[in-house]
Structure 1
């Protein structure tokens, strides 16, 4: 493959198009695979053709500079006068372009020599650098303000990766590292999760079939659901319980139920809410842990009457149901641990707002290519 690439010829339009595709978000690896160009070659093209913003609003590429240098040499040969030839071209080159060339090569050559070759006073170069730095300060201030707004809109739930993604969508040309650096400097961070200490069950648990067997892969919605219960504390009503059902394909919470008591009726209600909304075909797999609510005869009969197959985690193995536990962990990290619920009713409203208003329809997921669960489901239903 490498030898074949070395013999290939690519015209300038082709090279520039590959760089444009890279600028639009495609990876070098994908471009190399799709167009049969080595990654090393593509990186060279990126360095050569990627535009660099100047302080005066113009852009210049390394290729532009190379062409300008060739033009200078040609004039030198024609006129046999380097000073005259360069002086003629120098009038066409802006100070910011020359300063950028110096910045590119100052790690290889002393600044003094670069300034002498390009006939630019060192004081002028340093002055232009200060102008660029001032522009950078203004840009950082603007970016930081927008980062604060996005962070606040997410109720402090988004960290640097998701904020960076949204900034790019809005047209900001900014790297993830720069977003991380600005957030750290401004003291902006995603709200953190408190430690959870699970209680060890003293009851004997009978092992049951694990149909899922940690195979979380899916081809569409309503193939595999996972369910679990978590605890929510309130001041007046004490501990309350949330039973959730999540679709492994869309990551959407397709059904849930909130109650003051942890009973079979609680998990049955959550399942029925999901079933009524989604109307899955027969053969759906519902995976849960070995909790007594899910292993009860009433729940088993109810689920089987809907044509749904039950699957259970192995005893003492939380990884078998990691996806729904992950959702509950996110719920605690982003919402529950930062709010004191007065009573059951206020907690119920807050959970509805989080699950239906935020998690399913607004919260972008990196595992879903920064789409929302509802967007994934809508896309599939439109195709169907």
Structure 2
């Protein structure tokens, strides 16, 4: 796996809660659960994403926005529309689930004529582990991807699957959300004027890109500059200079940081595995050398890191809606005219 793909290891939509609403103005959705990532796609109509302490972003049909939590945000038909929960029948979300006019799961409009309606698909995306946090750190609070790019075919599949009621629907929806998330972030990094992290841009270099792929494919290998240079077909000095220039640090420094990120997730996930075993899994035959490297990079010993548990815990689930799946919480306060 490459340096970009590796960061999605802990970001999988397993039974994530989806919301689909056809909203007649005036309407407002207030997202209050503080999910690490929330993906919103407008299939028809338009609206405004209004994050806290950030300028609003207009969202038109075919566009996608990814909002990085934990701060709440609002999606409204017009700037200034307020979210005031009202009752609208048995098919709407209960107040305890965060909404009224908006049914949890996939649904049609809950009343109203539909004139000027906006159709919105939402996925609250869980992020677990230190590996995925590296990706979060590279993202802005609001990431907007316009229509007409590589994510469009994914949205077409998503809309078609959302409208169906077929066996295995949840699995398909989960995988489509994974696909859309990767496409949207990749398009954001690749567009003119984008600000991708240094390691992402460096993947396009024929030498440094090969080196990064090797380090991610074989992180526990006994790498030295000489062996890495041999595998990439250049001299040690050429590799060292190009890697430092493009990535911002020497190859083995990058490798150590990546190993400690892998180790942090292993410490959190495998409680029965010893520190020495985890050290060997990321390339350290000596447990003391591993512990010293981990404390130097992470600021605490492996044992202390395991005790304090800094990896984000999994969130609770909410009840299944009449037509929707279960999964991490996606709560809104909603009003629709």
Structure having the higher strand fraction is 2
TM range (shorter): under 0.3
Structure having the higher helix fraction is 1
Bigger Cα Rg? 1
TM-score normalized by structure 1? 0.23
